[in-house]
Amino acid sequence: MELPHVVLVTVVAESVLEHRLVRDLRDVGAHGWTITDARGRGSRGVRADEFEGDNVRLETLVTQEMADRFLAVLARDYFPLYAVVAWTTPAAVVRPDKYA
Amino acid sequence: METWSLAWTNLTSPPVLAFVLGLMATLIGSDLRLPEPVYQLLTVYLLLGIGIKGGVALRAAPPGEVLGPVLATLVLGVVIPVLAFWVLRVGTRLGPVDRAAVSAHYGSTSLVTFTAATVFFTSSGVSYEGFVTTLLAVLEVPAIVIGLLLAGRHTARSASWGESLREVLTGRSVVLLVGGLLIGFVTGAGGYERVQPFFGDMFTGVLTLFLLEMGVIAARRLRDLPQAGFGLVVFALVFPIFAGVLGISAGLVSGLSIGGAATLGVLAASASYIAAPAAVRLALPEANPGYYLTASLGITFPFNLILGIPLYLAIAERLGG
């Protein structure tokens, strides 16, 4: 069965950024997302919040256009200042209008 | 000499020894760690317990006795971070944003150091005003605001400290502390009787467990020590003593007892590493946690816990006696 495609955007960031990321994600029009706790290491190697857990992993299914806008926000407001990585993968879904 | 025996008693108490154990275990590479949810629970317990007990004492205290110390604490909350900012400028090569971040931490206060101090004072028979928890709550926030203001002109993020302030005021620390104070105030000594076995008798034991984990965390921060630089290390050891003396003096002048003044000294000398780091990370991302957290958590906290608390008591006795 040929399923329509959307974009899965995954962001791993320091946990203090969770609220801000969700707010920015909402602003580009995403309708939903999933957040899990994560830990690991990156090139920056700095953490300021031992007490809330190391990182969060944010995943969201969005259209290509929303993904582009969100990544632009990340590149402008987050990458220069915080420990954040993000990537996209194509995802096949059954209900594409849910994510538009 | 009384002071030395008190210092020894502090050093050989279960909470402090557990801290040392956590520290040593991590330095030799052990994977000792409390599970995260357990650690979170202990934090809630300590914050709520401290708050409730403080609230009960606050209700019983005459307002005239409380007002002076509260005002003195507010003044400390403004003066200490400004002083720290200036001292760092003179004694280290840190830039203004890093200095502002460190100042925010040192002007604010450490709940855990406060808790350890009150437990130590009680077990040593030193009496202090129970409402000092109110002073803890008062000192938490202003310094963070001051620190962010001090950074103001030098930081790329503008007007983000509304967000930081919200983060601090709605964060667990402040909500549980202030909420606990309210609960204690409303329920009073009679209501507290019903939870006394939980929040009273078990308190030192829980603190012991908590400090074990704190030792682990502090040791991990010590790994950033080379990055901190000599000036900052000296600051982290000497400034607390200076701030402590300021706190003790302010306490004595505003009418606190020797124990109460010593407690205010502990509050003034301690540096935050729960409320402040998150706020600072959001508002001042250019500041390096390798400076402010290493200083506050890796150096000042162990120093205050092991040496500072008995020292501030001795100074308070000397000045107030």
Residues of A in contact with B112 (CB under 8 A): none
β-bridge mates for residue A56, sequence order: A13, A37
Average pLDDT over residues A44-69: 80
The CA distance from B110 to B95, in Å, is 25
What is the per-residue pLDDT for B157?
58
Q: Tokens 């000294």 — which residue? A: B265
Residues of B in contact with A82 (CB under 8 A): 285
Q: Is B289 close to A47, i.e. CB distance below 8 A? A: yes
Q: For chain B, what is the domain count?
A: 1
Q: How far is A55 from chain B (nearest CA, A)?
A: 13
Residues of A in contact with B170 (CB under 8 A): none
Domain of B224, CATH number, reads 1.20.1530.20
- Main-chain dihedrals φ then ψ at residue B32, nearest 5 degrees: -55, 130
Fill in the amino acid letter for A35.
I
Q: Is B286 close to A82, i.e. CB distance below 8 A? A: no
Asked if residue B87 belongs to a domain, the reply is yes
DSSP percent split of chain A into helix, strand, coil, nearest 5: 30, 30, 35
Total-model pTM:
0.86
DSSP per position, A59-72: EEEE-HHHHHHHHH
CA angle B8/B9/B15 to nearest 5° reads 110
Structural tokens at position B56: 């009960």
**pLDDT tens per residue, range A8-24:** 999 999 988 999 999 99
Task: Give the Å distances, CA to CA, from B297 to A72, B16, B222, B235, B303.
Answer: 36, 15, 8, 13, 10
Which domains does chain A show, CATH number per domain? 5-92 (3.30.70.120)
Asked if residue B306 belongs to a domain, the reply is yes
Task: Give the Å distances, CA to CA, from B100 to B87, B94, B224, B250, B274.
Answer: 11, 10, 19, 24, 17
CA angle B234/B235/B239 to nearest 5° reads 125
Q: Is A20 close to B282, i.e. CB distance below 8 A? A: yes
- Predicted interface score ipTM higher than 0.90: no
Evaluate whether B69 touches B251 at the Cβ level (below 8 Å). yes
Q: Which domain holds residue B267?
A: 2-27+38-320
The secondary structure of residue B152, as a DSSP letter, is G
- Please tell me which residue of chain B has the smallest CA distance to A78: B285
Q: How far is B257 from chain A (nearest CA, A)?
A: 34
* pLDDT in 10s for each residue of chain B, 321 residues: 467 787 888 888 999 999 999 999 999 999 998 988 898 899 999 999 999 999 999 999 998 889 999 999 999 999 999 999 999 999 998 999 999 999 999 999 999 999 999 999 998 899 999 999 999 988 988 888 888 888 876 665 555 667 777 777 888 888 999 999 999 999 999 999 999 999 999 999 999 999 999 999 899 888 878 877 899 999 999 999 999 999 999 999 999 999 999 999 999 999 988 778 888 888 888 888 889 988 999 999 999 999 999 999 999 999 987
Interfacial residues of A (vs B; Cβ cutoff 8 Å):
14, 16-17, 19-20, 46-53, 81-82
Element (H, E) at B64: helix B63-91
What is the per-residue pLDDT for B171?
82
Q: How far is B97 from chain A (nearest CA, A)?
A: 13
A&B contacts, CB < 8 Å: 38
What is the per-residue pLDDT for A26?
95
